[in-house]
């Protein structure tokens, strides 16, 4: 008997894909938001800050509902997307990824913002006097010094995306093979008579993934810290 049943493998791969796409696609946006919050001043900044953090405090069902209203086939943005490009993300795994990304976004931005605030702007100024333009300074000084924070943000976001339930089931429903990620599959099994054993197996699987992700990120973080050295970079 194989280690995992085909259904379990389906749910696992779907979950990994949804979480990975959600995390990777929101990375540039997360960096931009972190920059906006840490380095710029503009009117209405506290509103933007609040909006980014909203998914952290709202019930996930509300986020899922708002996504449905906005991005559903007849939603405000969804209808335009469908009419213009023929794209529909409601009730697809892409919708699940969007829901996971929105829910994970505040955690990602928070970690990146903190690490950006810890970057010594004096080092950036020094780089500029050495002839580096803003772009080169960002790539060669700011980004490497932020790296541990970026990694932390990615890990947090990935973990949050992997566990996303409420917004997903509200926005894209619970379709086997399309939107039934590990948490949804686990939930389905608990609603099924005689599903306890299968549910327990899924729970163990989820725990195993979480532990593996933690160990991997810990190892990566240590390597990054070693690269940055124990000098100014660890002041934070």
13 binds other proteins (CB under 8 A): no
CB of 129 to other proteins, least distance (A): 4
Interacting stretch for other proteins, rule CB under 8 A, among 74-82, 141-149, 157-165, 208-216?
Answer: 141-149
Interacting stretch for other proteins, rule CB under 8 A, among 70-78, 80-88, 118-126, 189-197?
Answer: 118-126
Q: Which is nearer to other proteins, 74 or 136 (CB)?
A: 136
135 binds other proteins (CB under 8 A): no
Segment 52 to 111, residues that bind other proteins, using CB under 8 A? none
Q: Which is nearer to other proteins, 85 or 230 (CB)?
A: 230
Long-range contacts of 63-68 (CB under 8 A, 24+ apart): 63/99, 63/102, 63/103, 63/166, 63/167, 63/170, 64/99, 64/166, 64/167, 64/168, 64/169, 64/170, 64/171, 65/170, 65/171, 67/95, 67/98, 67/99, 67/102, 67/167, 67/170, 67/171, 68/170, 68/171
CB atoms within 10 A of CB 35: 16
Three-state secondary structure call for residue 75:
coil
Segment 145 to 204, residues that bind other proteins, using CB under 8 A? 145
Q: Which of 122, 191, 193, 197 binds other proteins (CB under 8 A)?
A: 122
Alpha carbon distances (Å) from 16 to 9, 120, 141: 10, 36, 32
Could you give the CA distance from residue 95 to residue 77 in angstroms, rounded to a whole number?
13
Closest CA relative to residue 101, chosen from 17, 208, 10: 17
Q: Which is nearer to other proteins, 85 or 235 (CB)?
A: 235
Q: Which is nearer to other proteins, 203 or 228 (CB)?
A: 228
126 binds other proteins (CB under 8 A): yes
CB of 82 to other proteins, least distance (A): 46
CB of 118 to other proteins, least distance (A): 12
Closest CA relative to residue 68, chosen from 175, 164, 170, 163: 170
CB of 4 to other proteins, least distance (A): 41
**Residues of the shown chain interacting with other proteins in the complex, contacts defined by CB under 8 A:** 120, 122-123, 125-133, 140-141, 144-145, 227-234
């Amino acid at each position: 008997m194989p280690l995992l049943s085909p259904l379990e493998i389906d749910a696992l791969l779907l979950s990994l894909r949804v979480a990975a796409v959600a995390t990777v696609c929101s990375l540039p946006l997360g960096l931009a938001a972190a920059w906006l919050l840490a380095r710029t001043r503009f009117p209405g900044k506290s509103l933007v800050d609040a909006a980014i953090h909203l998914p952290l405090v709202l019930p996930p069902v509300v986020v899922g509902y708002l996504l449905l209203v906005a991005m559903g086939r007849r939603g405000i943005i969804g209808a335009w997307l469908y009419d213009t490009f023929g794209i529909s993300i409601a009730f697809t795994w892409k919708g699940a990824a969007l829901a996971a990304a929105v829910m994970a976004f505040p955690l990602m931005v928070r970690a990146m913002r903190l690490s950006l605030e810890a970057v010594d702007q004096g080092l950036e100024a020094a780089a500029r006097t050495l002839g580096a333009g803003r772009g080169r300074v960002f790539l060669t000084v700011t980004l490497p010094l932020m790296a541990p924070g970026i990694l932390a943000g990615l890990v947090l976001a990935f973990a949050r995306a992997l566990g996303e339930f409420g917004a997903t089931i509200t926005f894209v429903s619970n379709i086997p093979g399309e939107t039934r990620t590990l948490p949804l599959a686990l939930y389905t099994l608990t609603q099924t008579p005689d599903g306890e054993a299968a549910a327990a197996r899924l729970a163990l699987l989820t725990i195993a993934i979480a532990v593996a992700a933690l160990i991997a990120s810990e190892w990566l973080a240590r390597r990054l810290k070693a690269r940055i050295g124990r000098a100014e970079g660890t002041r934070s």
